[in-house]
Chain A
Amino acid sequence: MFIGNTKKDREEMLKTIGVNSFKDLVKQVPEKFLYPEFKLPQEGLDEMQTASAMRELAARNKQLKSFVGAGAYERYIPAALKALLSRGEFLTAYTPYQPEASQGILQTIYEYQSSMAALYEMDYGNASMYDGASSFAEAVRSAVRITGRKKVLIAQSVHPQYLQTLKTYFPPGEDYKFVQIPHKDGCLDLEKLEGLLDRETACAALQSPNFFGLAEDFSKVSALTKAKGALFVAAADPVSLALFTAPGAQGADFAVGEGQGLGLPLNYGGPYLGIFTCKKEYLRQMPGRLAGMTKDKNGKRGFVLTLQAREQHIRRDKASSNICSNEALCALGATIYLALLGPGGLKELAQANFDAAHAAAERLCSIKGVSLKFKGPFFNEFTLALPCAAKELRSRLIEKENIDPGLPLKDFYPELGETLLVCATETKTEKDIARLEKAVREATA
């Protein structure tokens, strides 16, 4: 389909190479392995047929009015962002290993690192990780490496899939210990944290807003971890940080987050963007790429990949991580998104999320038997206690009303009973929320 050379080209090229046929070129491959049978359709589609087949498949996904968040947030994507991000110059560039020919990409990485450090109020950010969960896992790995300790405390209110990913990132069979810090009314139980912290603890890994949607006060955490020589790893939603205290201001040693909310589509889970930031003293323990500003021979400003000796292509088995390809284009998207919003726009966006979620919560709580499960302040999602089976309610609303009312939490936290994690971002209007209310009211009646 996308091959440039013609049959005539190939024949002439083979002649120049000095062989009679292609088969002579691949004599190093034992013949019995060449050209096996493939049980696949024997015809490929043309471009038009492919596009049409894929459009049909896309249409087979239900277009729901969705109130699900749980770590991935529906966002309006500005037209300028889409236009810039689809430029071939960005889309089809390679990793900027040749800095003189990659100043554009390198500067965008530098601007991305700067934006993340500013947003999280941390000293440094890297060029990106795969997603929020893998960033979280890598931050905990860094903490374990730095402290040389093997016990990790994780808040029970951390996204369950972050916890699962974290566990996978630690090889089994080596005595790592993962201890959950219970929650009290949906928030971190500080006394329990204090009790669990000891001289064996590598870090306390927490999240705010947490999986239940609650914004947490971590201002006392860093004093507690420091007292035991442990580190504080915080995960935070980047958009929430326009309104809520940043991890850096609460003394986090590593701060991470899922960057999808910075202008990236939901895409059924990816590609997303792992935000990774740290305090100055841990710069060398940071995994992944870094772009730095420097000068060229004539003293002109320029950018390069730097501190590369930490990385896998040099340090191999002693590298801080094995990450190579990252999510550069997604990081560029986030950078453009933040440039379009600026601090003022970001605050407006966060406020719009806050308002939509609180308006939704108020309306839903006016329904008989429906209430907020937890009292604490929340950002753009909240946990709702229901008078009926949450899973059935969800199936029914999806089927009958084309509304996905939220995520039932029973599979993750059976002890919470019939609860629904409901999210409303800036994309939800008064009318959408009224529709949701009406549907839930009827279903619970």
Chain B
Amino acid sequence: MEDITTLDNRLSIEKSSPGRRALKFKGRLKHSAPPIPENLRRKTAPRLAELSEFDVVRHFTRLSKINFSLDSHFYPLGSCTMKYNPRVNEDIAALDGFTGLHPMAPDEAAQGTLECLYNLQTLLCELCGMEAITLQPAAGAHGEFAGLMAAKAYFAHKNQKDRVEVIVPDSAHGTNPASAAMLGFSSINIDSGPDGRVDLEVLKRHLGPKTAVVMLTIPNTLGIFESGIETISKMVHEAGALVYMDGANFNAMIGMIKPGELGVDIMHLNMHKTFSTPHGGGGPGAGAIAVKKYLDAYLPVPVIKKEGNRYCADFNRPLSIGKVKAFFGNTGVLLKAYAYLLMHSPRELGEISENAIINANYAKALLKDYYPSHSKDHCMHECVLAPSPEMMAKEITTLDVAKRLLDYGFHAPTIYFPHIAHEAIMIEPTETETRETVEEFASAMKKISAEALNNPQKLKDAPQTMPVKRLDEVQAARQPNLRW
């Protein structure tokens, strides 16, 4: 039996009707050029939907409504920093003066945008305690790649080409080893200590003349601050290597701790995390790489400079690694981050991390009897929990809890990450959620825990209230259907 919602589930191409049209272009400029030669002409029109404008508006509006979003739901996604995306940022980035600027416009036509970018560079450098920065990478992973590339160029320039290893703790984001591998580094995975912190003895064993970079996430992916960072940095530097900080968790440090003072040599920042730009269903983000002076020369081009009262994009950097994308970076995203920073004094930025940390610890405290934490310590901006042994005895997995949460109107936390924590449930409320939201979330989590013990099938059958039930991912991967 086909129900109404199935009919409503049609693809745009299935709503298509030949000859139906939305947008038209009526202006035709005259010229006497010959038509396109036969060998270059497209023979068959692409199979795209033919719809009226109303069809299109309704189709996509409907799709927008069968989707969670931050505006409508709490996303306690650890490591993702799903904080409120201020609307004023959107207004600002949409100003014609900004959006209409061509990337090849000469500097004299781009002074407004260049000034914003220059100021953003300065602000971010100061917040990180770093000395140079590039805003070119389009995302965090793109920044990791460019940052490691700069490290590689630095060692090549110093004639230390045999530094070919990147040490990555097992708690790291998957992008870390993937970025290292892309650059031809061999990534050395080191086991963390029981609290998720770097085990100094293990690190020591692996550090040596082949080490180029040690990549650390601070706070780490268990939400724990790397308390021994000073010693770690010292060890790494004594071995002649560099400390790279994955800044994905900078929301726990902004306005409160300067990574540069911890001994970090290179770090990336994600504008779409700490700096409040929206995730857009998976992007666009923007990355920035901040470095110490001695790495400045290797950053990708262009870097925005100020000469007198004039701002310019500097391409003339002979030691630069080059470009990691065409043109400048994701300017539209960077402008939002700049507007966000303009609205905060250093003290107000510190309040961001303070409230992020309080909210995470509050969630952890409310849930401590139901979902034990991986770590005894207080956490920073996120905590890693797991279903209780009683729940697991009923064969309830983290996935079941996550799916049931959807029925309660909460997006699931990050699950099964970090890999080192068994059945991980990683919760990051961010500073923009109120205590009431955290309490409502905790209360749903507690109800789910009770359900798990009394009626575990309810969790196995979850979600019940979503547009679809659990989906057949095995089928999707075995016989991929990736297009109409």
Give the residues in chain A near B71, CB-CB below 8 Å: 88-89, 91-92
B53 touches A80 (CB 8 A): yes
Contacts between the two chains (Cβ within 8 Å), count: 698
Question: How many B residues, CB 8 Å from partner?
Answer: 208
Q: What 5 A-B pairs are tightest by C-beta distance, nearest first? A: A329-B280, A58-B97, A269-B327, A104-B67, A60-B112
| Segment with Cβ contacts to B, from A46-54, A193-201, A223-231, A436-444 | A46-54
Give the residues in chain A near B67, CB-CB below 8 Å: 89-90, 93, 96, 101-105
Give the residues in chain B near A249, CB-CB below 8 Å: 42-43
| Cβ < 8 Å to B, chain A residues 166-183 | 167-169, 171-174
B65 touches A89 (CB 8 A): yes
A91 touches B280 (CB 8 A): yes
What's the minimum C-beta distance from A246 to chain B, rounded to whole angstroms?
Answer: 6
Known A316-B177, A433-B29; judge A72-B327 contact (CB<8 A).
yes
Residues 1-31 of B, flagged 1 when their CB comes within 8 A of A and 0 if not, give 0000110010111001001111111011111
B80 touches A44 (CB 8 A): no
Q: How far is A57 from B98 in the complex, measured between Cα atoms in Å?
A: 9
Q: How far is A174 from B182 in the complex, measured between Cα atoms in Å?
A: 12
A100 touches B403 (CB 8 A): yes
A28 interface neighbour in B50, B225, B342, B412, Cβ under 8 Å = B225
A5 touches B359 (CB 8 A): yes
B105 touches A268 (CB 8 A): yes
| Segment with Cβ contacts to A, from B234-242, B289-297, B344-352, B448-456 | B344-352
Most chain A beta-carbon neighbours within 10 Å: one of B27, B351, B366, B412: B27
A155 at the binding interface (Cβ < 8 Å): no
What's the minimum C-beta distance from B319 to chain A, rounded to whole angstroms?
Answer: 12
B25 touches A103 (CB 8 A): no
Most chain A beta-carbon neighbours within 10 Å: one of B126, B286, B325, B469: B325
**In the complex, which residue of chain B has the Cβ closest to the Cβ of A29?**
B225
Known A266-B102, A395-B106; judge A96-B29 contact (CB<8 A).
no
Q: How far is A12 from B61 in the complex, measured between Cα atoms in Å?
A: 41
A293 touches B481 (CB 8 A): yes
A13 at the binding interface (Cβ < 8 Å): yes
Known A36-B129, A44-B344, A302-B471; judge A321-B178 contact (CB<8 A).
yes
Known A4-B432, A58-B95, A322-B179; judge A87-B108 contact (CB<8 A).
no
**In the complex, which residue of chain A has the Cβ closest to the Cβ of B127?**
A38
A110 interface neighbour in B325, B339, B355, B483, Cβ under 8 Å = B483
| Cβ < 8 Å to B, chain A residues 109-137 | 110-111, 113-115, 117-119, 121, 124-125, 127-128, 130-134
A307 touches B477 (CB 8 A): yes
B42 touches A242 (CB 8 A): yes
- 24 A-B pairs within 8 Å (CB atoms) are namely A26-B378, A27-B378, A33-B262, A42-B345, A87-B64, A91-B71, A93-B70, A104-B67, A130-B139, A161-B327, A171-B185, A173-B184, A267-B332, A268-B105, A270-B325, A290-B480, A295-B472, A295-B475, A325-B270, A326-B282, A344-B45, A349-B25, A359-B29, A377-B37
B284 touches A347 (CB 8 A): no
| Segment with Cβ contacts to A, from B86-94, B203-211, B384-392 | B86-94
**In the complex, which residue of chain A has the Cβ closest to the Cβ of B113?**
A268
A38 touches B346 (CB 8 A): yes
Known A4-B434, A60-B115, A100-B403; judge A130-B11 contact (CB<8 A).
no
B190 at the binding interface (Cβ < 8 Å): no
Most chain B beta-carbon neighbours within 10 Å: one of A113, A128, A297, A302: A302
